[in-house]
Amino acid sequence: MSSDLTPKIKFRLNGIDMEKEVPAGWTLLRYLREELGLTGTKCGCEIGECGACTVLMNGKPVNSCLVMAPQIENASIWTIEGVTPPGGTALHPVQKAFIECDAVHCGFCTPGMVMTTIGLLLQNKKPDNSQIKQALAGNLCRCTGYIQIFEAVRLAAAMISENDMRPFRENISEN
Ligand code: FES
Ligand code: FES
């Protein structure tokens, strides 16, 4: 890790409270992947244009390539690794919907798509087609043509229960 570290900061990652020094000049994307080993968050453009690096920060989808690591102080961060229910034997309904609708081809965009979908459904349980398109406008997919992805979001909205979403609401601040 970089020698230019912040003093320890507190944050919550995938439902677990953490207190760590973080590299002052690193992006959250780099910190997740290179320091914490959470490589499910993908590194695409690194300039905020592809959405492959999307994570939830205080319940909202953000491009982790545009967030500096120290900015996560007191924030709740969810990555794709935290989406599968504890135990690792089942997928989250949003993940199941993507598989069911054949919305995963090479899979590179999928973690970001799933995180954006969860962020959308946290705010809006029954989004209409234009709201789905708008929410996913920042997530690029070079494989599917988007039709299956939009279907997956509609199916996920129909399948999820409040229980499926509750973990992502915990410790969400108002900022
Ligand atoms: S890697 Fe962050 S938006 Fe592309
Ligand atoms: S499935 Fe390949 S980029 Fe989306």
Q: Are residues 67 and 120 in the same domain?
A: no
pLDDT, tens digit (0-9, with 9 covering 90-100), for 112-170: 999 999 999 999 999 999 999 999 999 999 999 999 999 999 999 999 999 999 999 97
Q: Are residues 164 and 113 in the same domain?
A: yes
Return the pLDDT at 86: 74
Q: Are residues 69 and 121 in the same domain?
A: no
Q: Which residues contact 59 (CB under 8 A, 6 or more apart)?
A: 76, 119, 122, 123, 168, 169, 172
Q: Are residues 114 and 59 in the same domain?
A: no
Range of the domain at 78: 9-82
H/E stretch holding 61 reads strand 60-63
Return the pLDDT at 175: 45
Q: Is residue 114 part of a domain?
A: yes
H/E stretch holding 16 reads strand 16-20
Ligand nearest to the CA of 113: 2
CA-nearest residue, atom 3 of ligand 2: 141
Return the pLDDT at 172: 64
Half-sphere exposure of 43 (CA within 13 A, CB side): 12
**Could you tell me the distance, in angstroms and rounded to a whole number, from the CA of residue 23 to the centre of ligand 2?**
31
Which of 27, 39, 49 best tests ligand 1's pocket when mutated (most atoms within 8 Å of CB)?
49
**Could you tell me the distance, in angstroms and rounded to a whole number, from the CA of residue 65 to the centre of ligand 1?**
6
For the purposes of burial, counting CB atoms within 10 Å of the CB of 19, is it exposed (0-12), middle (13-18) or buried (19 or more)? exposed
CATH number for the domain including 72? 3.10.20.30
Q: pTM for the whole thing? A: 0.95
For the chain, give the percent of residues with pLDDT over 90: 89
Q: Are residues 128 and 159 in the same domain?
A: yes
CATH number for the domain including 142? 1.10.150.120
CA-nearest residue, atom 4 of ligand 2: 141
For the chain, give the percent of residues with pLDDT over 70: 95
Q: Is residue 2 part of a domain?
A: no
